[in-house]
């Protein structure tokens, strides 16, 4: 499997708008081969001494953090999906963004250990 991970600062009062965007994106990712999409809204974000989720995205007053990931069968499927979504014009964002896009953190990860998904790496 291959994982894309995201930490997203959601603008004040935009939880429902973010959820709508996330659901649309999730359905799109599934059409292009994603196995699982998780969007988790902050519940227990503790301040850290040196860094934490809020500091990582330079969260501003009233913003909330979403921790999100997409599970793909493999990196090749993820990369092919990204190319296809862009070519198909599927990567367009809504006119009014419910999150601070320039402060979103994301990356791709190759699992080195899994438990509970029927495989170990």
**pLDDT 10s digits, 63-106:** 999 999 999 999 999 999 999 988 887 667 667 889 999 999 99
Average pLDDT of the residues in 9-16: 97
Q: Is the pLDDT of residue 17 over 90?
A: yes
User: Percent of the chain at pLDDT above 70?
Assistant: 93
Q: Identify the pLDDT of residue 96.
A: 84
Cα–Cα distances (Å) from 41 to 12, 22, 45, 73, 84, in that order, read 13, 11, 10, 25, 29
* Mean pLDDT estimate for the chain: 92
Q: Is the pLDDT of residue 121 over 80?
A: no
Q: Is the pLDDT of residue 25 over 80?
A: yes
The more confident residue out of 2 and 95 is 2
CA angle 84, 27, 72 (to 5 degrees): 60
Question: Residues 96, 14: contact at Cβ < 8 Å?
Answer: no
| 10: DSSP letter | E
Q: Is the pLDDT of residue 36 over 90?
A: yes
Statement: the pTM of the whole predicted model exceeds 0.85: yes
Nearest to 116 by CA among 62, 57, 71, 60: 71
CA 63/CA 78 separation, integer angstroms: 29
Q: Which domains does the chain have, with CATH numbers?
A: 2-109 (3.30.70.100)
């Amino acid at each position: 499997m291959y994982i894309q991970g995201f930490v997203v600062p959601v603008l004040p009062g935009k939880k429902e708008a973010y959820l709508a965007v996330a659901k649309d994106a999730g359905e799109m990712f599934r059409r292009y081969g994603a196995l699982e999409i998780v969007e988790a809204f902050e519940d227990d974000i503790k301040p850290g001494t040196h860094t934490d989720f809020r500091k990582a995205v330079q969260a501003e007053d009233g913003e909330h953090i979403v921790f999100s990931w997409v599970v793909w069968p493999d990196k090749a499927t993820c990369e092919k999906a990204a190319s296809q979504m862009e070519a198909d014009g599927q990567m367009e964002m809504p006119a009014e963004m419910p999150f601070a896009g320039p402060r979103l953190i994301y990356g791709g990860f190759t699992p080195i250990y899994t438990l509970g998904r029927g495989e170990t790496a």
